[in-house]
A and B are shown apart, each in its own frame.
Chain A
């Protein structure tokens, strides 16, 4: 058994590679990804569509759909290597030690059973208790996620509930197991802002009080800033920057993170619309060297030729950029993004 790192690390992912073998070629959806999640902390995983953030989460619970395959890597949860687990052992981890909340709550719930049935089924399987005990526990869980009138709502079918209500049911189901790790994959993307605020509050208080860790996948930097302690930024299958939230937002070092922050519109201040030029690269034919170089305003020859390694960028803050490592001598001027806006 390896010794725990300096902080109270619950989950550690090391050198994870997940590839999709398609007719067009190999898609390196997750390419040498390493990070750790601490107990009692919410870690935001940010990136645009196709950056590999959902596949990273699916790889942790080993639910990558074909033609995807976990090629190599280690996933340590609470001192155990999940990659060495058999199918049956892994099935015992899912829903107990690790639970997941999905983006589409209505698609993730079974339309043929009442929501109370579905929550109590999870509890019954885990506890091995009787049905009536599980049912009363399910109502308690629904009350805990602030569903009004839980006794009556327990006998409702998913289609009878609103999107926000279904997402609360998903949260209740995911948390009923008191999991060590909660993975939330864009849980508020389809919800209205006032309901999103309610669901975020709920996840925040439940994760804090249970002392579990949470991997929160989102593309919304606003949500990350409000909810998370740490951030991992992914681009084209690679982690390009990670560190504490305050550090990343105050001193983003990777040009992609800088571009993302610059192009996020804000309701509280006026600023011109900045954008990152170009589009997310084709996953099969990734650019050579640093995958971000065709869109990077600071790119030099070296960036095209050689992939940068992860380097220290500040306290507890690492990034993957030749400029930060000092191999390319150049100043990253904030004006570069504003000029794009002009």
Chain B
């Protein structure tokens, strides 16, 4: 694999993660949570990983940081192949790659003050002396918009938005290059969500951070990411720049996902929607072909063939649908009227 001439900062190649699930007393089946995903994130940009619950996006994010051991595949950060490192070496790298979690309250130790929470990564990953650490902690607080007198308080004394600010401060404490943001705003109120998103964007510009932004919320992805990968049942079904994904979605799943998002404008009520019947099937015992087969309005027999791989559409845009390969984006001529009016 020619990874040397690729200037992307984060490079993921054929990443897989399987969890053994007990089927009987002695037998196991494999649950393929992440199935052969590959993508690049250029330095200083934000990759959005979007999909519904159970699609494997959180597992993928954790595999990238080796918080979970991937079953196979490679994860490159700069010149380091993270998947080849020993556990000790990974521990040494932790300061350079951090994570912000979904539940801001649950991810902060309730018995530690904010000062202690922010000092811990400095103790583990830096050689600063006590005075320097103190200064750094104060600097972090002001960077995320908190006051110095917050240092001696405990997490429960803060609102959800402030707790997430503490989570962000902890993540940037050791000057990381790469941060995985796992649904950082989904537990927050609308008016506070914008504040956190703006803080993240501002820090990215100031510190040159590279983000992997995991979310199920397409509107958040649209406003924060430069590139997007859409996941369904462990596979990336479509990837491209944010504009490509949101303006010209090619995969039926992306189209359905986008058209299911409620638009906060009553005058647009009654627009045509692509509806997916049923629900996400169990990730155990998946068929060899397209994962969307059971719900796809455009399905045909060819879809049951193993695959499909990601077909190139334009620039960085590609989608894993055989209709894309046949350049058959105008599906209406097949007489399939998948779009329906709401009642």
Q: Do A and B bind each other?
A: yes
Identify the A interface with B (CB < 8 A).
Answer: 48-49, 148, 162, 164-165, 192-198, 200-201, 204-205, 208, 219-227, 245-246, 249-250, 259-261, 263-268, 270, 273-277, 279-280, 341
Could you jot down 15 A-B contacts, CB within 8 Å?
A49-B189, A193-B216, A194-B275, A222-B261, A224-B264, A245-B266, A250-B267, A265-B194, A267-B222, A268-B268, A273-B194, A275-B192, A276-B194, A279-B161, A280-B159
Binds A, one of B57-65, B111-119, B252-260: B252-260
Q: How far is the CB of B312 from chain A (nearest CB, A)?
A: 25
The one of B190, B275, B343 in contact with A204, judged by C-beta atoms closer than 8 angstroms, is B343
**Contact between A197 and B273, CB atoms less than 8 A apart:** yes
- Majority-rule SS of A interface residues: helix
**Contact between A219 and B262, CB atoms less than 8 A apart:** no
Identify the B interface with A (CB < 8 A).
Answer: 52-53, 159-162, 189-195, 197-198, 216-220, 222-223, 246, 256-258, 260-269, 273, 275-276, 278-280, 342-343
Q: How far is the CB of A28 from chain B (nearest CB, A)?
A: 19
Chain A residue numbers with a CB within 8 Å of B264 are 221-222, 224-225, 249, 261, 264, 266
Chain B residue numbers with a CB within 8 Å of A200 are 262
The one of B161, B220, B261, B279 in contact with A193, judged by C-beta atoms closer than 8 angstroms, is B261
Chain A residue numbers with a CB within 8 Å of B262 are 196-197, 200, 220, 222-223, 225-227
The complex places the Cα of A192 from the Cα of B273 at a distance, in Å, of: 16
Q: How far is the CB of A274 from chain B (nearest CB, A)?
A: 6
Chain B residue numbers with a CB within 8 Å of A264 are 190, 219, 264
**Contact between B191 and A275, CB atoms less than 8 A apart:** yes
The one of A201, A246, A279 in contact with B267, judged by C-beta atoms closer than 8 angstroms, is A246
The complex places the Cα of A245 from the Cα of B270 at a distance, in Å, of: 14
Beyond A197-B260, A267-B263, A273-B223, is A165–B279 a contact (Cβ under 8 Å)? yes
Chain B residue numbers with a CB within 8 Å of A162 are 279-280
The one of B192, B217, B269 in contact with A279, judged by C-beta atoms closer than 8 angstroms, is B192
B269's closest neighbor in chain A, by CB? Answer: A226
Q: Total A-B pairs in contact (CB under 8 Å)? A: 129
**Contact between B278 and A265, CB atoms less than 8 A apart:** no
Beyond A194-B276, A195-B279, A280-B189, is A268–B159 a contact (Cβ under 8 Å)? no
Chain A residue numbers with a CB within 8 Å of B198 are 273, 275, 341
For the A-B complex with A194-B52, A195-B279, A225-B266 known, give 9 more contacts whose Cβ atoms are closer than 8 Å: A193-B260, A200-B262, A245-B266, A263-B194, A266-B264, A273-B194, A273-B223, A277-B195, A279-B192
Chain A residue numbers with a CB within 8 Å of B342 are 201, 204
B158's closest neighbor in chain A, by CB? Answer: A279
Chain B residue numbers with a CB within 8 Å of A222 are 261-264
Q: Select the residue from A200, A267, A276 with max chain B CB neighbours within 10 A.
A: A267
**Contact between B343 and A48, CB atoms less than 8 A apart:** no
Beyond A197-B275, A225-B266, A279-B192, is A267–B218 a contact (Cβ under 8 Å)? yes
The complex places the Cα of A221 from the Cα of B261 at a distance, in Å, of: 11
Chain B residue numbers with a CB within 8 Å of A260 are 190-191
B276's closest neighbor in chain A, by CB? Answer: A194
**Contact between A194 and B257, CB atoms less than 8 A apart:** yes
A200's closest neighbor in chain B, by CB? Answer: B262
**Contact between A192 and B189, CB atoms less than 8 A apart:** no
Beyond A219-B190, A246-B266, A273-B194, is A266–B219 a contact (Cβ under 8 Å)? yes
Q: How far is the CB of B48 from chain A (nearest CB, A)?
A: 12
In the A-B complex, list the 5 residue pairs whose CB atoms are closest, starting with the nearest. A222-B262, A275-B194, A265-B219, A276-B191, A192-B52
**Contact between A164 and B218, CB atoms less than 8 A apart:** no
Chain B residue numbers with a CB within 8 Å of A196 are 260, 262
**Contact between B190 and A263, CB atoms less than 8 A apart:** yes
**Contact between A263 and B263, CB atoms less than 8 A apart:** no
A268's closest neighbor in chain B, by CB? Answer: B263
**Contact between A267 and B258, CB atoms less than 8 A apart:** yes
The complex places the Cα of A195 from the Cα of B52 at a distance, in Å, of: 10
A340's closest neighbor in chain B, by CB? Answer: B194
A47's closest neighbor in chain B, by CB? Answer: B189
Chain B residue numbers with a CB within 8 Å of A341 are 194, 198
